Copies of this chain bind each other. A is one copy, B any other.
Amino acid sequence: MALSKCNRLSGTLIKELLDSIDSVLFDCDGVIWRGDEAIPGAPQVINLLKKNGKRVFFVTNNSTKTRKMYADKLAKLGFNATEDEVFGTAYCSAVYLKTVSKVKGKVYLIGSNAMKQELESVGIDQVGVGPDPITGTQIDWVNVALDPDVRAVVVGFDEHFSYMKLNRALQYLTNPECILVGTNTDTRLPLEGGKAVPGTGCLLKAVETAAQRKAQVVGKPSRFMFECVASQYGLDPARTMMVGDRLDTDILLGTNCGLKTLLTLTGVSTVADATEHLQSGCPERLGMVPDYYVETIAELLPALQG
């Protein structure tokens, strides 16, 4: 394969690349779908990759859905996919807490019902999901009722995030044995039309600032997301490709784990962004330069059909 970076993937290079890999990790939003619509041609690409003997996984920092919810959405949009192939941060955080942190106790969860379900499915109880409105004054906040069994604070996306939740997290984290885990550090959730809403990274930063601690982060670009898939399926990094639309999460994850990397331009990052990283001369920015890019993953179709 070419050693240079950021190559336009086309022609015979596509077949060559596909022959060099056994497994493909796809980010979801901006890669195989946008909002509630599949990227045209994406279901056929995924389904043909599998038909051609490749293993396919769906790797997303979104913490608001369970594996089951993702599998349902994939099926509805025409993707041939099973729950076991979905690695979202709701599921991966539960695995992380169970296998890496080996947390013995409950989780104080700033997060979604989906995270609650994934935690419960690995046998970890949580407290905290849902609204937590403010009452009283400082003296009440500092003496807020805490669950004595909590051993970890976990921060994912939570539209009920509030000062009281931030305060409760701080009170739990004054115990140095209580760990702090974040699903991901994405600062914004991009929507159509260049608009965005605040992402989990904002909530996590508030908690880190209060607790004066850095969180252990599960999601991309943390290596754990790949290791979570690799350990279950015995993946060979050298024969695995990461396909994503974000340089700072998807492509950096791929680089961090020694995977081949493919940027698709149907989402957040542009070729200009990648070129800027490439030309920066800054070693830590080089990890955000993909091996290849395509306009859309539909460009893989001819090689798969041929």
Q: Which residues of A contact B (CB under 8 A)?
A: 131, 133-134, 138-139, 141-142, 158-164, 166-167, 170, 174, 187-189, 191, 195-199, 201-203, 205-207, 209-210, 212
Beyond A160-B134, A161-B162, A187-B212, whether A142 also contacts B196 by CB under 8 A is yes
* Chain B minimum-CB-distance residue to A188: B210
CB contact between A159 and one of B134, B160, B201, B203 (< 8 Å): that residue: B134
14 extra interchain contacts, Cβ-Cβ under 8 A, other than A163-B203, A187-B210, A198-B206?
Answer: A131-B133, A141-B197, A142-B197, A158-B163, A160-B162, A163-B198, A167-B197, A170-B198, A187-B209, A187-B212, A201-B209, A202-B206, A202-B207, A205-B206
Residues of chain B contacted by A133 (CB below 8 angstroms): 131
Q: Nearest chain-B residue to A203 (Cβ)?
A: B206
Query: Which residues of chain B come closer than 8 Å to A191, judged between CB atoms?
Result: 138-139, 142
Nearest CB on B from A303, distance (A): 35
Residues of chain B with a CB closer than 8 A to A142's CB: 191, 195-197
B163 touches A160 (CB 8 A): yes
Are A202's CB and B134's CB within 8 A? no
Q: A67 to nearest B CB, angstroms?
A: 21
Task: Please determine whether A163 and B159 come into contact, CB atoms closer than 8 angstroms.
Answer: yes
Copies assembled: 2
Q: Which residues of B contact A164 (CB under 8 A)?
A: 159
- Between A and B, 9 residue pairs with Cβ closer than 8 Å are A131-B133, A134-B160, A142-B197, A158-B163, A162-B163, A170-B188, A188-B210, A198-B206, A202-B210
- Residues on B with C-beta less than 8 A from A207 are 202
Distance from A267 Cβ to chain B, minimum over Cβ atoms (Å): 16
A165, chain B: closest CB distance, angstroms? 9
Bound together, the chains give a CA A203 to CA B131 distance in angstroms of: 18
**In the complex, what's the smallest C-beta–C-beta distance from A249 to chain B, in angstroms?**
15
Contacting pair B187 A138 (CB below 8 A): no
Which listed residue (B167, B174, B196, B206) contacts A170, Cβ 8 A? B196
Q: Which residue of the partner chain B has the closest CB to A207?
A: B202
Q: How far is the CA of A188 from the CA of B160 in the complex (A)?
A: 22
| Shortest CB distance A221–B (Å) | 17
Query: What is the minimal beta-carbon distance from A61 to any residue of chain B, in angstroms?
Result: 15
Which chain B residues border A209 with CB–CB below 8 Å?
A: 187, 198, 201-202, 205
Q: Which one of A188, A201, A209 has the greatest number of beta carbons of chain B within 10 Å?
A: A209
CA distance A160 to B133 in the complex (A): 8
In the complex formed, the residue of B with least CB distance to A208 is B205
Q: CA separation between A187 and B167, bound complex, in Å?
A: 12
Kindly name the residue among A138, A159, A160 whose own CB sees the greatest number of chain B CB atoms within 10 A: A159
Q: Give Cα A161–Cα B209 distance, bound, in whole angstroms.
A: 15
CB closest residue in chain B, given A64:
B138
A209 and B206 CA atoms in complex are apart in Å by 9
